Chain A
Amino acid sequence: MEEENELMMRVTGLKKYYGEVHAVDGISFAIPRASVFTILGPNGAGKTTTLEILEGVRGPDAGEIEVFGIRLKRVTRAVKERMGVLLQDGNFEPYLKVKEVVRLFASFFKKALPTEEVLTRVALQEKTNAYVKTLSGGQLQRLAVGVALVNDPDLIFLDEPTTGLDPQARRNMWSIITDLRDQGKTIILTTHYMEEAEALSDRVCIMDYGTIIAKGSPRELTSRLGQETIIEFNTSSLETEDLTQLESYGKTAREDGGIVTVETENLVHTMEQMLAWSREREIPLTNMTVRQPNLEDVFLLLTGRRLRE
């Protein structure tokens, strides 16, 4: 019972079909309070449709959503009062000022934070009187986050919040997200960046073809790969027997888009064999890196494809 009280959202058997296409095909998951829950998946996996159903933009064909302890078929206005949403592709009126945008959105909610506080949270105080059309990409994204926070929501949806941002702006956004979690907010995040998902997420759910193929904490998911270490290098002249040879040095070996990935549980031994193979076959180990497995490797393990394909 105590565990139930700690849940912000529970989704059961959610389905959404567009004709013959099963965009979302019976997914279920639970999101604890004060956590960052990340949905990962390639384009067309059903992430956006899932998010739009949870945001109340569209209704599901089947399934149930339980949020704030209320069971619903579809998200209602009362639920929206406690939610904040950052859309991936939404815009603002270019001829409004930053403060006018925040006040406009604040007026849609029964309870709202003061404009100054919202702009301080997203570090836009100096742009209060600037027109939207004059903001940079990073500033626009921060304004969008500010608008998502205007009602001081308990549940926040962030759909690809750092896409298109420079590294500094991305780090600033990460800082905002971790601050929100520390304040006890629950965040549902989608992203294309594996390092972002690993750095920010408490729980990750990986979707493919409308279904959930894995879920758990980033550590739990990557531990599925055991104690392996990943060795990667670039090449353009690998033959089938080379790949078979490399596989014999480690646990698995794959070539995908000119990148060769070898997994091993004995790094030193495998490296010695690979260097000898490289000299003998005269195949350079260009841009060779050694790293721990990440969520990309988990997806590769589960589907045989890369996330960004």
Chain B
Amino acid sequence: MKGILRIAAGHLFTAFRERVTLFWFLIFPLFLLTILTLIFGNMGQEGEISFAISVVNLESNTAGPVDFAAIVEGVFEETGTASEEGKEPLFTLTHPSDGEDLEEFLAREKEALRLGHRAAVIVIPEGFNQELLERMMRSGSSPSENGAFTIYINEGNAASEMATSIIEQILSGIDRQFLAHVGRFQEEEAIPSETLWVGSGGEELSYVDFLLPGVILMGFFVNGLFGVPGSILFARDRRVLRRYWVTPLTVPRYLAGFSLGHLTLCLIQFALIFMLARFAFRATITFAEPMPILFLLLGAITFLTFGFFIASVAKTANAGMAIANILNMPMMFLGGLFFPIGGLPTFLKVIVYANPVTYLAEGLRMSLGIQGETFSIPLTLAVPVGWIAFCIFVASKRLSWDVKR
């Protein structure tokens, strides 16, 4: 037992002292979680992201019972005000100054859009007012058919495209309000809809909650597929393992010590990712149930044994890294970590259903209540366990301490 603990400690010391290892084991997953959460986690939510837009109202006639153009402008004005102090408004609006020529203002704002300083420029058309109401009453058509809004966007700008979809949703809401105003739409007759997250305990889950299990599994995956064979094969190539060979240390004891060190490293990695998600991004999932813990442990062990498998079939460290890269793509991208697997062609589904990542990702999300049950729990446990048995069998037969002569 003493030898196993010393090997585990040696593995940890080496990992923490080697900058490259430290980066891939600890810094990279934290970096990935931060980047993904910052980019996608707050998209379209007021208070967390803000788009700079311009609203140009070309309608100057405010006569009549309802000033439609002013209402539309008002809605965007409202979204341009933060609902809570200290938060950014969803839109930062730019208006023409008093007496400014509208055509000149529009031209200047379109240039700002082209340069990426605006996410969109909205133009309320001339005549979008009392005349519009009369036309609507007369022809029975909708406001959008009678006076088209113009939304200028910059096609190559991601922020511009995101802002457009939000603007269209707002305009759709305005459309319903207009129809209700002229008596052609009853709110109570509308099909009720509500968007809710299906989460553990009925809690509302954020994007970071959805992302967190995937990032943790991906961290274990990279540790296992690249870190494990890298450590073993580079030690073998440098003839470090030869020295163990002439002592009473056995291969099973060495692998037990290595595994203990590796799983401790995974635990540290998990703790850091979890704390970052919890305290910096306000994740709500806790993993504090037996099933999520079981799936996390199963994931770490599965990828660890895949690492042993690679180390046992590769003749050199470089060959090991090449095999890890070959396995990396199908396992990572055909495991349901990043996109749904339902619509894939049959030949790819074969890989999906043989891939342990599929079952580990599903199982972990199911056990956390993030995802419905696609596979049964026994199946999500059995497939990774089968892979573990296979990898250990191959490693026990083929893993060599010394470079081949």
16 contacts between A and B (CB under 8 A): A55-B246, A56-B246, A57-B246, A77-B250, A78-B248, A81-B248, A87-B246, A93-B240, A95-B18, A96-B10, A104-B6, A104-B10, A108-B247, A108-B248, A109-B247, A157-B246
One of A55, A90, A104, A108 near B239 (C-beta < 8 A): A90
Most buried by B among A55, A57, A87, A107: A107
Task: Encode contact with A along B1-27: 1 for CB under 8 Å, 0 otherwise.
Answer: 011011101100110011000000000
Give Cα distance in the complex from A110 to B2, angstroms. 10
Task: Encode contact with B along A53-84: 1 for CB under 8 Å, 0 otherwise.
Answer: 00111000000000000000000011011010
Whether a CB of chain A sits under 8 angstroms from the CB of B235 is yes
Whether A91 contacts B14 in the complex (CB less than 8 A), given A103-B6, A107-B2, A107-B5, comes out as no
CB contacts (< 8 Å) of A209 on chain B: these are none
User: Which chain A residues numbered 132 to 190 have a C-beta less than 8 Å away from chain B?
Assistant: 144, 147, 157
Interface residues of B (CB under 8 A from A): 2-3, 5-7, 9-10, 13-14, 17-18, 235, 238-240, 242-250, 402
B17, A91: Cβ atoms closer than 8 Å: no
| Number of residues on chain A facing chain B (CB within 8 A) | 29
B245, A95: Cβ atoms closer than 8 Å: no
CB contacts (< 8 Å) of B3 on chain A: these are 107-108
Whether A91 contacts B246 in the complex (CB less than 8 A), given A96-B13, A107-B6, comes out as no
Q: How far is the CB of A57 from chain B (nearest CB, A)?
A: 6
Give Cα distance in the complex from A2 to B244, angstroms. 36
Give Cα distance in the complex from A20 to B249, angstroms. 32
B interface: dominant SS: helix
Whether a CB of chain B sits under 8 angstroms from the CB of A100 is yes
A91, B243: Cβ atoms closer than 8 Å: yes
Give Cα distance in the complex from A104 to B5, angstroms. 9
CB contacts (< 8 Å) of A81 on chain B: these are 248
Q: How far is the CB of A184 from chain B (nearest CB, A)?
A: 22
Task: Encode contact with B along A93-119: 1 for CB under 8 Å, 0 otherwise.
Answer: 101100010011101111000000000
A109, B10: Cβ atoms closer than 8 Å: no
CB contacts (< 8 Å) of B5 on chain A: these are 107
CB contacts (< 8 Å) of B240 on chain A: these are 90-93
Q: How far is the CB of B404 from chain A (nearest CB, A)?
A: 12
CB contacts (< 8 Å) of B402 on chain A: these are 57
CB contacts (< 8 Å) of A105 on chain B: these are 243, 247
Q: How far is the CB of A131 from chain B (nearest CB, A)?
A: 8
Q: A81-B248, A93-B10, A108-B244 are in contact. List 6 more A-B contacts (CB 8 A).
A: A80-B248, A83-B246, A89-B242, A93-B240, A100-B10, A110-B248
Give Cα distance in the complex from A260 to B300, angstroms. 68
Whether a CB of chain B sits under 8 angstroms from the CB of A85 is yes
Whether A92 contacts B247 in the complex (CB less than 8 A), given A103-B6, A104-B7, A107-B2, comes out as no
CB contacts (< 8 Å) of B14 on chain A: these are 93, 95-96
CB contacts (< 8 Å) of A90 on chain B: these are 239-240, 242-243
CB contacts (< 8 Å) of B245 on chain A: these are 57
CB contacts (< 8 Å) of A55 on chain B: these are 246
Give Cα distance in the complex from A96 to B235, angstroms. 13
CB contacts (< 8 Å) of A104 on chain B: these are 6-7, 10
Q: How far is the CB of B136 from chain A (nearest CB, A)?
A: 76
CB contacts (< 8 Å) of A56 on chain B: these are 246
A100, B13: Cβ atoms closer than 8 Å: yes
Q: How far is the CB of B333 from chain A (nearest CB, A)?
A: 33
CB contacts (< 8 Å) of A87 on chain B: these are 239, 242-243, 246
Most buried by A among B9, B18, B238, B243: B243
Whether A91 contacts B238 in the complex (CB less than 8 A), given A100-B10, A108-B3, A108-B249, comes out as yes
CB contacts (< 8 Å) of B242 on chain A: these are 57, 87, 89-90
CB contacts (< 8 Å) of A107 on chain B: these are 2-3, 5-7
Give Cα distance in the complex from A95 to B17, angstroms. 6
For the complex of A and B, list the 10 residue pairs with the smallest distance between their C-beta atoms, beginning with the closest: A85-B246, A107-B6, A95-B17, A90-B243, A108-B247, A108-B249, A107-B3, A77-B248, A107-B2, A80-B248
CB contacts (< 8 Å) of B2 on chain A: these are 107
CB contacts (< 8 Å) of B18 on chain A: these are 95
Give Cα distance in the complex from A262 to B336, angstroms. 82
CB contacts (< 8 Å) of B238 on chain A: these are 91
* Nearest chain B residue, comparing its CB with the CB of A150: B247
Give Cα distance in the complex from A91 to B243, angstroms. 7
* Nearest chain A residue, comparing its CB with the CB of B253: A108
CB contacts (< 8 Å) of A77 on chain B: these are 248, 250
CB contacts (< 8 Å) of A110 on chain B: these are 248
Give Cα distance in the complex from A110 to B250, angstroms. 13
Q: How far is the CB of B26 from chain A (nearest CB, A)?
A: 15
Most buried by A among B245, B248, B249: B248
Q: How far is the CB of B19 from chain A (nearest CB, A)?
A: 10
CB contacts (< 8 Å) of B246 on chain A: these are 55-57, 80, 83, 85, 87, 157
Q: How far is the CB of A187 from chain B (nearest CB, A)?
A: 15
* Nearest chain A residue, comparing its CB with the CB of B237: A91
B239, A109: Cβ atoms closer than 8 Å: no
* Nearest chain A residue, comparing its CB with the CB of B7: A104
Q: How far is the CB of A282 from chain B (nearest CB, A)?
A: 52
Give Cα distance in the complex from A147 to B240, angstroms. 13
